Amino acid sequence: MQLDQLTLRLRPRGPWEAMDLGTALLRANWKPVLLSWLALVLPLVFVIYALGPAPSGWVWVVVWWLKPLFARVPLFVLSRAVFGAPPRLHEVIRALPALLRTGVFAGLTYLRFDPWRSFNMPVRVLEGLRGQEAGARGRLLRKRAGGHAFWLTFVCAMFTVVFSLALIGLVNMFTPDPTGTRGNEESLWQLLNRGEENLPLWLYYLNVTLDFIAFSVVELLYVASGFTLYLNRRMVLEGWDIEVALRALAARVTAQQEKQSWAGAAAALVAIVMAGMLVYPHAGMAVEPSSKEAIKKVLAAPEFEQYEEVTRWKYIGEVRPDKRKPEQPRWIDRDFVGVGFAEIIRALAWLALAVVIGLVVWRISSWRASADKGQERAAPPAPVPRQGKSKADEVLPHDIVQAVQQMLAAGRVRDALGLLYRAAAARLGARASDTEADCLARARSREQATRAYVTNLVRAWQRAAYAHEASLDAAHALLQEWPRHFPDVQPGPPPAARAGRA
């Protein structure tokens, strides 16, 4: 394995980051992966559905059972793309016999429900291991990543179901009349629930197509994430990053050795030149005494004289008392200033604490005084009835119909609607705290006609009370329907409901 050609950055990653690296690898090589998938897997799935009975759910089970066989195609493409050389379609076709040589029988029989399928598949397909050797290799790799590989399988299985249902729901949103009868009687969901015998053939193949799309998207992500998780585990166990770093270090050492060889040649040349100069040693010694004397004469000239005053500190021991400087006053001592400042801050803190305690005591006493005064106050006057009603108006008349007719004849439409509403609330058994919504809730237990009448009455009263839109025609209509729903209303206690809150 040529690790220096890997397109991935070799460094230890966490399992979740390693699986996310698989999605990035798939995005970078989606064209060769998708081309190989559509060229090799799609025709096989088409043949299976064409030869199988339609409509039948067993055909879908066969396609689902062959998923480990289909997954070998994207695994092979990604295993070559990770080295920077994604294979072409004809290369994938030539590699099919080798891909189908190891692990096919085990993957479609006793390992079909392997919860670590995407993690264990590279061991059998790429490494070519079989039987107990493959099992031992898989157990070794799963020691630190087995749990993550299991959850990857579970989550991808759930995503396949959710994605398939989402695609059917999306198509259902754009088909308001799936039966073609312009009656909009049944949706796609209702047609799918009919069963295989009553399922339309076009809907069966539409469902098959959507299932294949969902299965393809999730399966490619599943294979890519499991493959990078496998690569990350091998890198940690086998030290691929260390090996690549050592190879780079060896390359740098080789380059430095080549540079040193050139430096050695230059040093040899310099040594040869120096050896030639040593052939005449006496000539150099003859000029040495004369040169020294000439230098001494030049330095003895007045121009080269230089004077410099240097001051240095030297410890001479303890200073005698008579030579010690006079002691500074106490008030400028740093320790004295610091202690004095601390004392001032302490005094201010105690003063602030005393002020806070005094304010708290004063506030508590003022609260008690105000509470005592509040107990001695007289009871507040009774609230004025809202919407201009008096207590006399709260008493229902003996004949509701006649009273409402008199109000309508006098042009008091709002008061007439209010009387009808209060009478209906009393009939429904409303309490003093009930509102219009509570009255509507109490009317739900009555007949449908009574519920509709109370709803219209409440709406008419709300428009009259809040929007000041009192309709005379609506009041007459409600009055005519009153005896049908409340024929035996008798005068009683004041109604309990609050007839319209302003």
Q: Is residue 12 assigned to a domain?
A: yes
Would residue 362 count as lying in a domain?
A: no
Q: Are 130 and 103 in contact (CB under 8 A)?
A: yes
Domain-ending residue, one of 197, 221, 246: 246
In a domain, 294, yes or no: no
Q: Is the pTM of this model over 0.85?
A: no
**Tens-digit pLDDT string for the chain (502 aa):** 565 556 677 777 888 888 888 899 899 889 999 999 999 999 999 999 888 877 777 888 999 999 999 999 999 999 888 887 888 999 999 988 888 888 888 888 888 888 888 888 888 888 888 888 888 888 888 887 888 889 999 999 999 999 988 898 888 777 765 555 544 445 666 766 666 666 777 878 888 899 999 999 999 999 999 999 988 888 887 766 566 556 666 666 676 666 666 666 666 676 665 666 555 444 444 444 566 777 777 667 666 666 667 777 877 777 665 555 555 444 445 555 667 778 888 899 999 999 999 999 998 888 877 776 655 554 444 443 444 343 334 578 888 888 888 888 888 888 888 888 888 888 888 877 778 888 888 888 888 888 888 898 898 888 888 888 888 888 888 888 888 888 754 444 434 444 443 3
CA atoms of 55 and 445, how far apart (whole Å): 48
Of 220, 246, 272, the last residue of a domain is 246
> Would 164 be classed as within a structural domain?
yes
Task: Give, in degrees to the nearest 5, the angle at Cα 117 between 114 and 118.
Answer: 165
Domain assignment present for residue 102? The answer is yes
373, part of any domain: no
In a domain, 168, yes or no: yes
Whether the bond between 55 and the residue before it is cis, its omega within 30 degrees of 0, is: yes
**d(C-alpha 397, C-alpha 389), whole Å:** 15
Show the 3-state SS of 474-498.
HHHHHHHHHHHHCCCCCCCCCCCCC
Indicate whether 321 belongs to any domain.
no
Which two structure tokens, joined as six digits, stand for 41? Answer: 């897997």
Q: Which of residues 246, 269, 299 is at a domain's end?
A: 246
* Per-residue DSSP letter, 444: G
Question: Which residue range is the domain that position 467 belongs to?
Answer: 397-485
φ, ψ for residue 218, nearest 5 deg: -70, -35
CA distances 38 to 85, 168, 266, Å, are 20, 22, 65
Number of domains in the chain: 2
